[in-house]
Structure 1
Amino acid sequence: MMPSYFFAHGAPSLVIEDHEYTSFLKNIAATLPRKPKAIVIFSAHWEHTVQQVSAVDTYSTIYDFSGFPEEMYRMTYPASGDASVTEQVLSLLNDAGIPAVSDTSRGLDHGAWAVLKLIFPDADIPVVALSVNRYLDNAKQYEIGKALAKLREQDVLIIGSGGIVHNLRQIKWGAGAGTIDPWAFEFDTWIEKRLKDWDLQELFRYSELAPYADRAVPTSEHFIPLLLAMGSGDGVRQAELLHRSYQWGSLSLTAWRFN
């Protein structure tokens, strides 16, 4: 069965950075059991109150950022869509009582393409992008991922792209790679234990129970893809931390695999 993943996408500039985490992402494809038939990716930067499922032939590239190096605005990720996978995603979600509709025009935002460009630079694997909805409770987020678990049996790779500690107001520009704010690490390690123990009861209540939760997750859209990816691993319930580092003190660059 194809594993599913959560990848932090950091800042948009991740795609042109050179450090331990980008090296990790560039090598992760080699650890997969086989080349995926398609990729289903949830991005924190596509928000909608009704679950959206992309249905495009070839993706445009969305530059949903400003003030970054010019080379980033010349990058493209012209992946194709996959109509059959889109239809299957819609069917699985609707069968699970999760209303979902197709979107025929939206391109890939940086939460999707910056990560994919590092992992699969040739853009030769079909992609189906999905939105996130911050207004659903955490149990429902998990159920959305769980509803799609069957896709893994068909060599579809499920990815959640976001950030466990993601508060741009707390980052310290210019802080070195070895700088880790204690509060960010404490929140991250609290989450780590609940993921490894598959403790859904506490994880779903992270905003009440976890230390510094309001500081680490000021808004939930970047955290939600973690729950979505985890839900797709409900059958086995095995979580593995593959990488964790930090930028600018508190922006966590984290990768999790769910088997």
Structure 2
Amino acid sequence: MMPSYFFAHGAPSLVLEEHAYTNLLKEFAAGKPKPKAIVIFSAHWEESVQTVSSVDQYSTIYDFGGFQDELYRMTYPAPGERSLSEQIRSLFTKQGIKSKPDEERGLDHGAWAVLKLIYPDADIPVVALSVNRYLSNEQQYEIGKALSELREQDVLIIGSGGTVHNLRSVNWRAQGVDEWAGAFDNWLQSKLEAWDTDSLFHYEELAPYARMAVPTSEHFIPLLIAMGTGDANRKAKLLHRSYQYGNLSLSCWQFD
């Protein structure tokens, strides 16, 4: 069964950077079986109804401003997979989750910046999915759980977001890590490794500095969805954690 993953996508410039986290992403595929397809939830695609892309080939969305010119010349023309999109919608229907198709939207930077580092050839079919910040945390988990059987079909499921993502608090010149960011991620690590869903579903009330770390939930949601896909085995492993600008977390979680 193919593991699922959560990847932090940091700033859009991540794809141009050279450090321990980008090295992990660039080396991620080495020695691993090539997935038949990739299903990716991006924090930067929000819809009120669970939306499933259904395209033949993706355009590239530049949903950011003020970054290096090189970023706006990058493309990630991955193919879609309409049959997988239909299968995903069927799995959602079985679990009472409403969904709709989208036949136009390209890949936003939450998806393509990560995928370009891991699979730069853009030769693996991709199905992109939206997130909805107005669902409960338990509902987010159930969305992932509904797709868990895809892992038995060599489909790689990815959640792309950030565990500590407060752009109003970043310090572009910081050298160290803010204490509050580390405290939140340490709490999160302990609950993920213990598979303590009761605490995770109420992280807003229980986790230290939760409002600082997660001022809005769209970047946290992909973690809960990725975790939900591993409900059968309930094994979480932290592969990497570092920070940029004092508190912007770069983390990678594996769910077996």
Instruction: Give the TM-score normalised by the residue count of structure 1.
Output: 0.98
Distance in 1, matches of 2:192 and 2:29, equals: 23
Per-residue deviation, 1:113: 0.1
Show the counterpart of 2:2: 2
Q: Does 1:17 align with 2:17?
A: yes
* CA displacement 1:201-233 (0-9 Å, x = unmatched): 001000000000000000000000000000000
Q: In 1, Cα distance between the equivalents of 2:58 and 2:210?
A: 35
SS at 1:130's partner residue? strand
User: Residue 141 of structure 1: SS of its match in structure 2?
Assistant: helix
Task: Look up the SS of the partner of 1:129 in the other structure.
Answer: strand
Q: 1:31 deviation in Å?
A: 4.6
Aligned to 2:225: 228
| Shift, 1:159, TM fit | 0.0
Between the two proteins, the alignment pairs up a number of residues equal to 256
- 1:153 is matched with 152
Question: What is the TM-score normalised by the length of structure 2?
Answer: 0.99
Name the SS for the 2:44 alignment partner: strand
| 1:137/1:219 CA distance change after superposition, 3 Å | same
Aligned residue for 2:252? Answer: 255
Unpaired runs of at least 5, structure 2: none
Give 1:85 deviation, angstroms. 0.7
1:68 Cα deviation after fit? 0.4
Question: Which of 194, 197, 200 is the matching residue for 1:197?
Answer: 194
Aligned to 2:28, the other structure's residue is in SS state helix
* Structure 1 residue aligned with 2:113: 114
- Unpaired runs of 5+ residues, structure 1, are none
Matches of 1:205 and 1:252, distance apart in 2: 21
1:85 matched to 2:88? The reply is no
Which runs of 4 or more aligned residues in structure 1 lie more than 2 Å from their structure 2 counterparts after TM superposition? none
1:181 counterpart = 2:160: no
Q: Distance in 1 between matches of 2:30 and 2:46?
A: 31
Partner of 1:208: helix, strand, or coil?
helix
Look up the equivalent residue of 2:88 and give its one-letter code.
V
Instruction: Return the alpha-carbon distance in structure 2 between the equivalents of residues 62 and 239 of structure 1.
Output: 31
Matched with 2:29 is 29
The reply to whether residue 63 of structure 1 matches residue 62 of structure 2 is: yes
Distance (whole Å) between structure 2 residues aligned to residue 134 and residue 244 of structure 1: 24
Describe the superposition over 1:70-90 as per-residue Cα deviations: whole angstroms up to 9, x where unpaired: 000000000000011101100
- Give the counterpart letter for 2:19 in structure 1: H
Kindly indicate whether residue 101 of structure 2 is the aligned counterpart of residue 102 of structure 1. Answer: yes
Q: 3-state SS of the aligned residue for 2:227?
A: helix
